[in-house]
Structure 1
Amino acid sequence: MSISPPSYKQNRLKQLRAFCKTVETKNISRAAEKLFLTQPTISLQIKALERELDVIVFERHGPQIRITPDGELLYEIAKPLLEGIDNLAQTFASKSGRLDTGELTIVAGESTILYLLPEFVSCFKERHPGIHIKLLNETGRDGLAKLRSDAADFAVGPMVEGQADLEYKPLFSFEQVLIVPLDHPLARRTKVTLEDITPYGLILPPRQLNHWRTVDLVFEQHGVPYSVVLEAGGWEVIKRYVEQGMGISIVNEICLTGKERLAVIP
C-alpha cells in the first residue's frame, strides 16, 4: 500500500511558479503566456497558494494587481527555491566537479563579444562541449544589473569605477586611439592633443555607456571643450561613419582590424 502526498503539495511547485511569474510580469495574463497556461489556471494556482498559507499575496483592483507585503516575503523565499530546482543538474555537476552539462551566461558589450571573446568561447567549448553558453549583449548599468540579479554568471567589460558589491579582476588592457578619415587634416599626425580634437565633431557610443563617460571625464578634467555630432551604437557603425567623413572618433583599439580605410593616431 502506498500513500500519496496531498495534492496541494504535489502542485506547490506549479503554484509557486505561477505566483513568481505573476510578480515578475505584474500581470496574470502575461504570466499565463510565459508559462503556456490559461489565465484561469494561473488565478486558481495563486488562490490555492493563498488558501494553503492563509495569506493574501496580491491586492486585486479589477484587472490591476499589486503585491502585498506577505506576497513580497513569499517571493523573496520562493524565487531562490525555484532557481535552485531549475539549476539542480548544473549545481550538482559543479559541486561534484563535473563540468559536462549546464549553462554559462556571460554578459558583455557588443565590442567585447565581437572582438575579444570568440577565441576564448571557442576554447571553452572544445573543453566543455556539454555546457550551453549564452552571450547577453548588455553594457554599463544594464549589464551590472543582470549580474546582480543572477541573470548572468559573470560580466566582461570596462570597469570605470569599482563596485563595492562585486568581485572583479583586470584581464586585459587596451589603448584608446583616435580614428579619422584618410583625407582628414589630422590624418598624417603621429600625435595629437585634446586641443587638436576640439575643432572637429566626435562620433561616440550612446552617452549611457562607459566609453562616453570616460571620454567626457578626460575632456572635463583638462578643461577642454568638445562636441558630439553623432551618437551611434557599435564600433563597426562608428568606424563606417568616420570613413564616410561624418566625424572623428576615439575608440578602443580592440575594434580595429587593420582593414579599415582610416588613419589611426595613438
Structure 2
Amino acid sequence: MSSSTARFYYKGDRLKPLRAFCQVARLGSVSRAAEALFLSQPAVTLQLQALERELGHPLFERIGRRFSLTREGQVLYDLARPLVEGLDGLDGEFRGRLKGLQAGELHVAAGSSTILYLLPALVQAFRAQHPEVQLVLHNVTGKDGLGLLRADGVDLAVGSMLDVPTDLAYAPVYSFDPMLICPPDHPLASKPDLKLEDLSPYGLILPPRRLTTYRLVDLVFQQRRVPYTVALEVGGWEVIKQYVAMGLGISIVTAICLTEADRTRLVARSLADYFPPRSYGVVMRKGKYLSPQARAFIDLIKPGLFERRDYFDSGPSER
C-alpha cells in the first residue's frame, strides 16, 4: 500500500487511530491500550504510525517501558480526547438526554446480601435525590449477574468479586471482616485465643457450594490442612443466622450481614487471622457508557469514583 493510499484510508476512518492514540496517551502503554480496545498490539502501533505520518509530527517519546506525550502529542490529546469520548458516548448520551435524568431508568444487579444489607441506605438516598428515576434492582448472583452486565441488561452491578474477568472492571469500595457466629452458650463463644482448628469438632452451616463463600471456606481449611464438616447447606444469610441461633451449627459469615439485632442471639468473633476481608464495590463492563443516572448512583457509593477511569479501563492485574 502506497503512502498516499494509507493516508487516504486513515482520513476516511480517523476515529480509530484517534481512539488508539488517546488510549496510549492515557495508559502510557501500547499493550494496555490494545487490551482496552480489544485489538492486537501491532494494529495499535500501525494506527499510531499512520497518525504521526498524517500530522507530520512525533506524538510520543518512549521513556523506559512507558510512552509519554511529546509537546505536539499533548496538543493533539487535548483536542482529541473530548471528541473521542463524545463520539463513543454519543448513543447513550442521546438516549439519556431524550429521557432526561428525571425520566430515566437505572438497572442495578446485586446479590441478596448486597440488596439486603448494603444497598438500603444508598437506594434511600438515590430515591430522595432523583425521585422520578425508575430504579430496578436485579437480584442475581454469579454467572447470571455477569451475563446481564455483558448483555447490557443492567447499567452496573454492586457486589463482591474474587476473580475479575478481563472484559469487566471491579472497583472495591467497602471491606468486611470474616466472622465466626455461634449461639451465646456455645463453647467457642468465650474460648480464648480462638484458632481455626477449634472449629473442627462443630458442623458448619454454609451457603451452597456453588457460591463464593463456600469455596473460600473450603480453600482456607484445605490450605491449612484443618478438617471440617458441613452440617447444612442453605441459601441466605438471614436463614443461616436463624439456624445458628437455634443451635443447629456454627457458621463463617461476612460482617456485612451482622446487624445490631443479632447481638442478642449470636456471638460474633473475628476470623481475620485466617480469612481475607471481603470487598464489595462497583462492577462494570469495560468500555460501557454510563448514563447520568448510573453516574449519580456511583457517586453516591463513592464520590469521584467514576472519574478514576483506571478502575474501569484496566484489568485486575493492573490495579
Q: TM-score, normalised by structure 2?
A: 0.53
Query: Which runs of 4 or more aligned residues in structure 1 lie more than 6 Å from their structure 2 counterparts after TM superposition?
Result: none
Candidates 118, 125, 137, aligned match of 2:120: 118
**Cα offset, 1:205, TM superposition:** 0.7
Deviation readout 1:114-135 (Å, 9 max, x if unpaired): 1110111111112211211111
Structure 2: runs of 5 or more not aligned: 1-90, 271-319
C-alpha separation between the residues in 2 aligned to 1:225 and 1:147? Answer: 38
1:143 aligns with 2:138: no
C-alpha separation between the residues in 2 aligned to 1:135 and 1:221? Answer: 37
Matching residue of 2:242: 240
**Cα offset, 1:191, TM superposition:** 4.2
Matching residue of 2:173: 171
1:156 aligns with 2:170: no
SS in structure 2 of the partner of residue 200 of structure 1: coil
1:265 aligns with 2:269: yes
Deviation readout 1:31-67 (Å, 9 max, x if unpaired): xxxxxxxxxxxxxxxxxxxxxxxxxxxxxxxxxxxxx
- Give the letter for the 2:162 counterpart: V
Matching residue of 1:203: 205
C-alpha separation between the residues in 2 aligned to 1:191 and 1:91? Answer: 57
CA RMSD across the alignment: 2.1
Query: 1:93–1:148: structure 2 CA closer, same or farther, 3 Å change rule?
Result: closer
- Give the letter for the 2:129 counterpart: R
C-alpha separation between the residues in 2 aligned to 1:113 and 1:214? Answer: 21
Q: More deviation in 174-183 or 151-160?
A: 151-160
- Give the letter for the 1:263 counterpart: V
C-alpha separation between the residues in 2 aligned to 1:153 and 1:212? Answer: 28
Matches within 5 A, 1:1-266: 92=94, 94-95=96-97, 98-189=100-191, 191-260=193-262, 261-266=265-270
**Cα offset, 1:178, TM superposition:** 0.2
**Cα offset, 1:97, TM superposition:** 9.9
Identity of aligned residues (%): 53
**Cα offset, 1:241, TM superposition:** 0.1
Structure 1: runs of 5 or more not aligned: 1-88
SS in structure 2 of the partner of residue 173 of structure 1: strand
Query: 1:230–1:96: structure 2 CA closer, same or farther, 3 Å change rule?
Result: same
C-alpha separation between the residues in 2 aligned to 1:157 and 1:190? Answer: 33
C-alpha separation between the residues in 2 aligned to 1:187 and 1:218? Answer: 21
C-alpha separation between the residues in 2 aligned to 1:112 and 1:190? Answer: 32
C-alpha separation between the residues in 2 aligned to 1:137 and 1:201? Answer: 29
Q: TM-score, normalised by structure 1?
A: 0.63
Matching residue of 2:61: none
**Cα offset, 1:96, TM superposition:** 7.1
Matching residue of 1:24: none
Ranked by relative contact order (alpha carbons within 8 Å, sequence separation 6 or more), the top structure is: 2
**Cα offset, 1:141, TM superposition:** 2.1
**Cα offset, 1:190, TM superposition:** 5.1
Deviation readout 1:184-223 (Å, 9 max, x if unpaired): 1101135422211111110011111111111111112212
C-alpha separation between the residues in 1 aligned to 2:92 and 2:135? Answer: 13
